[in-house]
Amino acid sequence: MTSAARGSAAGIVYRLARPGDAGAIEALDSSFTTDTVFAVEVGEAGFTLRETPVDPPVRKVFPPEEHDEQGVGAGAGAGAEDSAGDARTYVALDDGRVCGFAAAGYSSWNRRLTVEDIEVAPAHRGRGIGRALMECVAGFARERGADHLWLEVSSVNAPAVHAYRRMGFAFCGLDTALYGGTPAAGEQALFMSRPCS
């Protein structure tokens, strides 16, 4: 798959990741700064999310990750996928350089396509590249017969939450303990989904 996706920045090419893309994917700057976060308020009847201003703004830098488990480079050409056929990674290229990626995996038991990771380099944000990558993932979901797309995002990543909502995602759950014992302790995991229609 090599194309310019609808709504994306001019000149950006989208395709399946190849083995040679792994280093560029790993090197992407996924950090962000935000002046709001989503606070989880616990009440007798459950939880409420409230977007709250923060001063000073929060700057979040993620630790390096291994992306191989998400199907990076799992095949050599367009249409290639991992050995199980249920994981794919797409890249966005600007002048031949990786400026974003999305990794996803399909689970047949609940017909869920999980967006494992999606990142766009800071200089390329706000240009529709994340949306175009998500549409690549959505195409994979439809190919597999998935019922819905699902993802997890930290409560401090308000910019991503807003982007996902613009892409049609809605909150579907949370986990207040998922990040315990990690550098993200104190943050809550927000779960979002959207239908694959």
Tens of pLDDT, residue by residue over 64-96, are 764 444 444 443 333 444 435 899 999 999 999
What is the reported pLDDT for 85? Answer: 81
DSSP H or E run through 133: helix 129-144
Distances, alpha carbon 122 to alpha carbons 125, 126, 149, 152, in Å: 5, 9, 24, 20
What is the reported pLDDT for 46? Answer: 86
What is the reported pLDDT for 84? Answer: 52
Ramachandran region, residue 142 (left: φ > 0; alpha: ψ -120 to 50; beta: rest): alpha
pLDDT higher at 2 or 133: 133
Q: In whole angstroms, what is the distance from residue 101 CA to residue 111 CA?
A: 23
CA-based nearest residue to 151, from 119, 181, 182: 119
Helical axes 158-166 vs 129-144, angle rounded to 10°: 60
DSSP H or E run through 96: none
Averaged pLDDT of the chain? 88
What three-state secondary structure class fits 157?
Answer: coil
Length of the chain: 197
CA-based nearest residue to 95, from 10, 1, 18: 10
pLDDT higher at 47 or 102: 102
User: What is the pLDDT confidence band of residue 155, given thresholds at 50, 70 and 90?
Assistant: very high
Task: Write down the residue that tokens 């709250």 correspond to.
Answer: 52
What is the reported pLDDT for 2? Answer: 47
Q: What is the mean pLDDT of residues 108-120?
A: 96
Point out the least confidently predicted range of 4-13, 24-33, 187-196.
4-13
**How many other CB atoms are there within 10 angstroms of residue 163's CB atom?**
19
Q: In whole angstroms, what is the distance from residue 3 CA to residue 172 CA?
A: 32
Q: In whole angstroms, what is the distance from residue 11 CA to residue 190 CA?
A: 33
Tokens linked to 8 = 């994306």
What is the reported pLDDT for 65? Answer: 64
Residues in contact with 197: Cβ distance below 8 Å, sequence separation at least 6, in sequence order: none
